[in-house]
Structure 1
Amino acid sequence: MSPVPTTVENRRHTSSKVQSNLPLDAMESSKIENSSSPSEDVTAEQNSIDRKGSQVRDAETSKDDHQNSTQGAASPIGKTEKPVTAERASPDGAHSDKKRKLTDEPAENPALDKDQHRTKRKRLQERLQKNRRRGKTPPSAYSRRDDGPRIQPDARPPRSPSPITRSPSPSAAPIRQRKRPGGGARINSANMEALKRRQEERERKREEEAQRELRDRGVHDVVRQHYNAVPERGREWRKTDSKIKGLRSFNNWIKSTIIQKFSPDEDFLARNNGNGWTGGPPTAPDEEKRLIVLDVGCGKGGDLGKWQQAPQPVELYVGLDPAEVSIDQARDRYNGMRHDRRRRRGNPLYHAEFHVKDCFGESLANLSIIQRVGIDTNIGPNGSLMSSRWGGGGFDVVASMFTMHYAFESEEKARQMLQNVAGALKKGGRFLGVGPNSDVLSAKVVEFHKKRKEQLAAAGAQEADSKEEGKYASEVLEWGNSIYRVRFPRATPEDGIFRPAFGWKYSYFMEEAVEEIPEYVVPWEAFRALTQDYNLELQYRKPFLDVWREEKDDPILGPLSERMGVRSRDGTLMVNEEELEAASLYHAFCFYKV
């Protein structure tokens, strides 16, 4: 018998016969096994309807062919179709045993299968129509398939039509009422003038503060640059060629007198003074308690030799000055004292340290040497009661030689200076120094105004514009001689009382020493009242000429004046009248820390 032709129609016919011969349960099982996933049910049902329709048509055709074959069980064609159909349906030879088994079984009751197919198709069509009415569209067969649930864009929750309300933030401030832009919201003329005045006052204060800072920095820089520029001419030049050598010697003797009288502590004076209370023998220098000295404004170190000759030996000397060149020269002078053994008389040489520091505009608490010795930063009117009673620094003596007048540029600087001084001193410590005498300046101011009034009265020209509202004179006050000069650039008080106590600037000139640098009046009574806030009590104050008259015949200070060139061995004063007039501007003082 000739082989069955393997065409597409034959393969389709064979497949239709196999499917039509399957029982209903097997067909349902096959559909369940071949189904993909729940998410593809709609697509699978549509494809199943098309496939069942073709199977029904193929089953009718195969039914006619099956009735024509009367020898169905022994026919060789039926036996040869199954391997040919299986072989053509799967060219690679990988056949399913289950499929072969189902193919071998003969179809039973094709009419029942046809009714079942029609019932299923109708049920699927009804389901599709119901889904369409519900708005569900079957997905495309070519859409991407995944196992996860699909989120449709319309599945988002609908937006609430009500506006979003936020809870008010808690605030302690009351709710500011809003005003309508009308007459009630406008600022009247009185309020506008007040606002303008406040704005002008704020601007004026800012300008004054900026000018004060600039002026303060300018004065500080001028003074520092001036002393940096003063050349160091040496000891021999000062003794022989200087035009003011008598004044230099006189001022140095005054400073030595203050150091000799007030640098020793009370215990030292009691033990070593023949007229003291103890009456005991003098103590050997090695057994004496040594002093710790702080010199604010030490300059070029001109007082190092004076401290070397102090009655009570010095253990440590700390020199501070804002001028860098002056500090270098002071350090060089101290090193020269260490190497010059011929001039090392009396006490052993002390240890000295020098630092660049503005002692009036800054606190000294940040210097390491000051911290090691000790300083009380709580001293003053804002300090605690315990600090006032038990606090204190570690220095025995604080000296200020010709420097304190720079601190009275402002009250802040004056208080900073006193806080540094009082904070560094221990209980019973001494604050000694020399500076311009405000009594002399006040007397010169009063004398100037008195003479001016007499001249105006004699000339009969008392014009209103020649006075400053009857309180201040507009003319420049100036006096001096060939070696010194004092000049007030602004109006001065007619009564000679400087109010307020700070900021009264004048320019001072000294031949070979000072070139028209700004200085400030130190009203003494105001200064003494200020020192009480820092536990400083005044013990001594005298003008230079009074110090000379009282101490020139002292058994120690008298011979010292001869050695320093103030007077000759026969007692003749070696200071001329102009130099004495220049020296009369200054006074010496000493405070005790209580």
Structure 2
Amino acid sequence: MKRGYQESSSSGSYEPPHSKFKHNPEGDGRFLEDESTKIFAKKVADHYSARTNQTLEEREASPIIHLKKLNNWIKSVLIQLYAKRGDAVLDLACGKGGDLIKWDKARIGYYVGIDIADGSIEDCRTRYNGDADHHQRRKKFSFPARLICGDCFEVRLDKVLAEDAPFDICSCQFAMHYSWSTEARARRALANVSALLRPGGIFIGTMPDANVIIKRLRQAEGLEFGNSVYWIRFDEEFEKKKFKSSSPFGIKYTFHLEDAVDCPEWIVPFHVFKALAEEHGLELVFVKNSHAFVDEYLKKPEFVELMRRLGALGDGKEDHSTLSPDEWEVAYLYLAFVLRKRGQPDQARGSSRRDKGKMHLSKEDISYIRKLDRGNPSINHPDNVVSTSLLNPTMNRNIKSQLPTSFEEIQISCSAAAYGQIAFKLSFVSLFCFYQAYSERHNR
């Protein structure tokens, strides 16, 4: 493997902290998201929605093409190691559906993808249908699917996916760090995974390696570091380059990667991630920096062949990667992890839910979910969710989420304030009916 850095991979004891963060924030107003968090979430969504699908020629011309192929190889290895024939898969932050072919090769039985960016979900739909043939080489997938547009780090998904769960495997690739802007979002992300996985189910993912990023920051002269293909910049509030162990959430930086990313991200201290996961019944199987991951799995012939097929070995004659040193440095910024939900696996298999999805998805088949905003942060609870399937997806986004096609598609846990509003409306209707009846009797 051609390398730009010879340093050892990120390591550490990864022991859970001793109550260094607050416990169970749900329902506590102090943990609710402020407007800045919503703005950043929208900025991330807009960024990925604006990115258009590339042709194969455009993709091959990318300055980070070999890094992209390496990342695809890492995800493919994770899927080959843990996905089984007939599995029901939940793909959090599925993006444009770049992993659909990987899941198809694993012969899964059912797929649900969710992403915050409506543009990405639409691209995922066309890719699944085989319409984006300028971008992919196959036309048909062997598993039924369902697609959802919404923030999986904000909305409680167990109600939205009550008929689809439990899932055998959950995947969140290069996205978990977007949940770390607040403790509430981080907890919601892990609560969703735990609630939707079956006992013994697997959670696989990739995300930035906090140890490496902080190390690079402290080695830099200022608050910015990078190379020809990426840069990372921290705000002035971190000029001392010190981070309180009691405040492991909301540590924001701006990340730019050529031809890929240009938006805010958040540090995820892995020992905190591990501790929160354990609170939600998810136990660590392994965590490896990308460099260590490559070193381990390139020792196995089947994965060398996989890297060759993905084109990460140039024309296939080399036995080492063609990554440039700058691309290899970017790879060092990430890690791969695997968690397992506690409990003994049951006999129920995801393949029994093949009838829940469709083999061809129209625009009307995309579900849109959002957390209700009642204007009063003290009652803005994670349970307040609206789920809709839209007849006209070209409507204004602010309006279409309020237009369900049937009452069954609305899932709301009513707060006291909402109940009061409903009671007032019912009282007004009753008064109007009484007035009508009185007028009719009086006019006889």
TM bucket, shorter chain: 0.5 to 0.7
Q: 1:365 to 1:212 in 2, by over 3 A?
A: closer
CA drift of 1:233 comes to 1.2
Residue in structure 2 matched with residue 82 of structure 1 by the alignment: none
Residue in structure 1 matched with residue 416 of structure 2 by the alignment: none
CA drift of 1:546 comes to 1.1
Give CA deviations for 1:509-557 in whole Å, capped at 9, x if unaligned.
Answer: 0101112x11100011111111111110000110111111111132221
In the alignment, residue 255 of structure 2 is paired with which amino acid? Y
Q: 1:477 to 1:211 in 2, by over 3 A?
A: farther
In the alignment, residue 299 of structure 1 is paired with which amino acid? G
Greater relative contact order, per chain length (Cα 8 Å cut-off, separation 6+): 2
Q: 1:238 to 1:432 in 2, by over 3 A?
A: same
Whether the 8 Å contact between 1:498 and 1:504 is mirrored in structure 2 is no
2-side partners of 1:522 and 1:360: how far apart? 14
Secondary structure of residue in 1 paired with 2:155 = coil
- Structure 2: gaps of 5 or more residues: 1-28, 343-444
In the alignment, residue 505 of structure 1 is paired with which amino acid? K
2-side partners of 1:433 and 1:426: how far apart? 17
Task: Give yes or no for the alignment of 1:358 onto 2:151.
Answer: yes
Correspondence for 2:230 among 451, 468, 484: 484
Whether the 8 Å contact between 1:362 and 1:416 is mirrored in structure 2 is yes
In the alignment, residue 582 of structure 1 is paired with which amino acid? V
CA drift of 1:260 comes to 1.1
Q: 1:250 to 1:498 in 2, by over 3 A?
A: farther
Residue in structure 1 matched with residue 125 of structure 2 by the alignment: 331
Residue in structure 1 matched with residue 69 of structure 2 by the alignment: 249
Residue in structure 2 matched with residue 372 of structure 1 by the alignment: 163
Correspondence for 1:421 among 185, 193, 197: 193
Residue in structure 1 matched with residue 43 of structure 2 by the alignment: 222
Task: Give yes or no for the alignment of 1:553 onto 2:305.
Answer: no
In the alignment, residue 488 of structure 1 is paired with which amino acid? F
Equivalent residue runs for 1:247-326 within 5 Å? 247-264=67-84, 290-310=86-106, 313-326=107-120
Give CA deviations for 1:103-147 in whole Å, capped at 9, x if unaligned.
Answer: xxxxxxxxxxxxxxxxxxxxxxxxxxxxxxxxxxxxxxxxxxxxx
Secondary structure of residue in 2 paired with 1:409 = coil
Equivalent residue runs for 1:91-170 within 5 Å? none
Secondary structure of residue in 2 paired with 1:501 = coil
Correspondence for 1:232 among 53, 56, 72: 53
- Greater shift in the superposed pair: 524-533 or 487-496: 487-496
1-side partners of 2:245 and 2:94: how far apart? 29
Secondary structure of residue in 2 paired with 1:373 = coil
In the alignment, residue 441 of structure 1 is paired with which amino acid? I
Secondary structure of residue in 2 paired with 1:361 = coil
Task: Give yes or no for the alignment of 1:397 onto 2:195.
Answer: no
In the alignment, residue 49 of structure 2 is paired with which amino acid? N
Whether the 8 Å contact between 1:446 and 1:495 is mirrored in structure 2 is no
CA drift of 1:338 comes to 11
Alignment size in residue pairs: 310
Q: 1:523 to 1:210 in 2, by over 3 A?
A: closer
Secondary structure of residue in 2 paired with 1:430 = strand
The TM-score normalised by the length of structure 2 is 0.66
CA RMSD of aligned residues (A): 2.5
CA drift of 1:211 comes to 11
Give CA deviations for 1:305-341 in whole Å, capped at 9, x if unaligned.
Answer: 111122xx2010100001111000000001118999x
CA drift of 1:491 comes to 3.2
2-side partners of 1:481 and 1:570: how far apart? 26
Identity of aligned residues (%): 35
Q: Return the structure number with greater helix share.
A: 1
Residue in structure 2 matched with residue 532 of structure 1 by the alignment: 278
2-side partners of 1:361 and 1:406: how far apart? 11
Give CA deviations for 1:155-179 in whole Å, capped at 9, x if unaligned.
Answer: xxxxxxxxxxxxxxxxxxxxxxxxx
In the alignment, residue 512 of structure 1 is paired with which amino acid? D
Secondary structure of residue in 1 paired with 2:207 = strand
CA drift of 1:302 comes to 0.5
1-side partners of 2:217 and 2:122: how far apart? 39
Whether the 8 Å contact between 2:126 and 2:132 is mirrored in structure 1 is no
In the alignment, residue 522 of structure 1 is paired with which amino acid? V
2-side partners of 1:412 and 1:215: how far apart? 14
Whether the 8 Å contact between 1:299 and 1:326 is mirrored in structure 2 is yes
Task: Give yes or no for the alignment of 1:569 onto 2:317.
Answer: yes
Give CA deviations for 1:416-456 in whole Å, capped at 9, x if unaligned.
Answer: 111100000001100100000011022123334xxx6xxxx
The TM-score normalised by the length of structure 1 is 0.50
CA drift of 1:224 comes to 0.7
CA drift of 1:365 comes to 2.8
1-side partners of 2:206 and 2:32: how far apart? 30
- Greater shift in the superposed pair: 539-548 or 490-499: 490-499
2-side partners of 1:437 and 1:316: how far apart? 31
Whether the 8 Å contact between 1:300 and 1:329 is mirrored in structure 2 is yes
Whether the 8 Å contact between 1:498 and 1:523 is mirrored in structure 2 is no
CA drift of 1:495 comes to 5.3
Whether the 8 Å contact between 2:128 and 2:141 is mirrored in structure 1 is no
Task: Give yes or no for the alignment of 1:542 onto 2:333.
Answer: no
In the alignment, residue 144 of structure 2 is paired with which amino acid? H
Equivalent residue runs for 1:462-473 within 5 Å? none
Whether the 8 Å contact between 1:363 and 1:420 is mirrored in structure 2 is yes
Give CA deviations for 1:365-384 in whole Å, capped at 9, x if unaligned.
Answer: 342xx11123xxxxxxxxxx
2-side partners of 1:209 and 1:496: how far apart? 21
Q: 1:556 to 1:336 in 2, by over 3 A?
A: same
In the alignment, residue 577 of structure 1 is paired with which amino acid? P
Whether the 8 Å contact between 1:262 and 1:590 is mirrored in structure 2 is no
Whether the 8 Å contact between 1:300 and 1:326 is mirrored in structure 2 is yes
Q: Return the structure number with greater strand share.
A: 2
2-side partners of 1:502 and 1:490: how far apart? 17
Secondary structure of residue in 2 paired with 1:399 = strand
Q: 1:555 to 1:407 in 2, by over 3 A?
A: same
Residue in structure 2 matched with residue 511 of structure 1 by the alignment: 258
1-side partners of 2:122 and 2:33: how far apart? 30
